[in-house]
Amino acid sequence: MIETLIVPGLNGSPTGHWQHHWASKDPAAELVEQEHWSDPRLSDWLHALEAKIAGSAPGVILVAHSLGCALVAALARRPAASHVGGALLVAPADLEPLSQTHPAVSQFAAASKGTLPFASILVASRNDPYMSFERAERQAAEWGSALYDAGEVGHVNIASGFGPWPDAETLADGLRGRPVLGRGSSPRLASPWTARGWTERRHDVGLGIG
């Protein structure tokens, strides 16, 4: 049974990307494929994600990167969100400038606002070309996510030197085994958790990280 869904962003996650490595080696993980990676249409991308959630284990963990983070956030007020156990949101993109070159992204921006109904961790880089660290701090606060400072690691992709990335699995494991929340439930869950090699920042959504 699928326990982890890997959610890429714009243009997908090619061979060599840490998401691709994870999906390839872990039989309980599956990458959510989109028909048009370079032409993101919110309704199509949501339907693909929801179909994968429906066929996964209850409490599935979503592991998103870049625009995939906004896709996960757009899921928040849809019925499928009640089957999600948590989300690891890595290097989300700032959608306002991105929509200048990809107008369809504006649909994601409008739909991805507000607190997430499941526990989440936002991993932010201090030199990400697609979102400043200060903007990432505000985004974590808006989503109600625990914020992790990854240091200066670019966009956490192949271009910034990321192939296999075991820290992502460590972070995601901290979200597992939590009760699946019904719609309208609070994301603040009380269970202690720590992640090796990471410096926690501010937003505690019940992960026990202060």
Q: How far apart are CA 27 and CA 29, in angstroms?
A: 5
Helix (H) or strand (E) segment spanning residue 95: helix 95-101
Range 4-201 has CATH code 3.10.20.30? no
pTM: 0.86
How far is the CA of 133 from the CAs of 130, 152, 165, 177, 178, in angstroms?
10, 10, 21, 30, 28
Domain segments of the chain: what residues? 4-201
Q: Per residue of the chain (210 residues), what is the pLDDT tens digit?
A: 999 999 999 999 999 999 999 999 999 999 999 999 999 999 999 999 999 999 999 999 999 999 999 999 999 999 999 999 999 999 999 999 999 999 999 999 999 999 999 999 999 999 999 999 999 999 999 999 999 999 999 999 999 999 999 999 999 999 997 655 544 443 433 222 333 333 444 333 334 332
Q: What is the DSSP letter of 196?
A: T
DSSP state of 8: -
CA–CA dist 209, 11 (Å, integer)? 34
Residue 4's beta-bridge partner residues? 29, 61
* Nearest-angstrom CA–CA distance, 56 and 28: 9
Polymer length of the chain = 210
The answer to whether 59 and 66 are in contact (CB under 8 A) is no
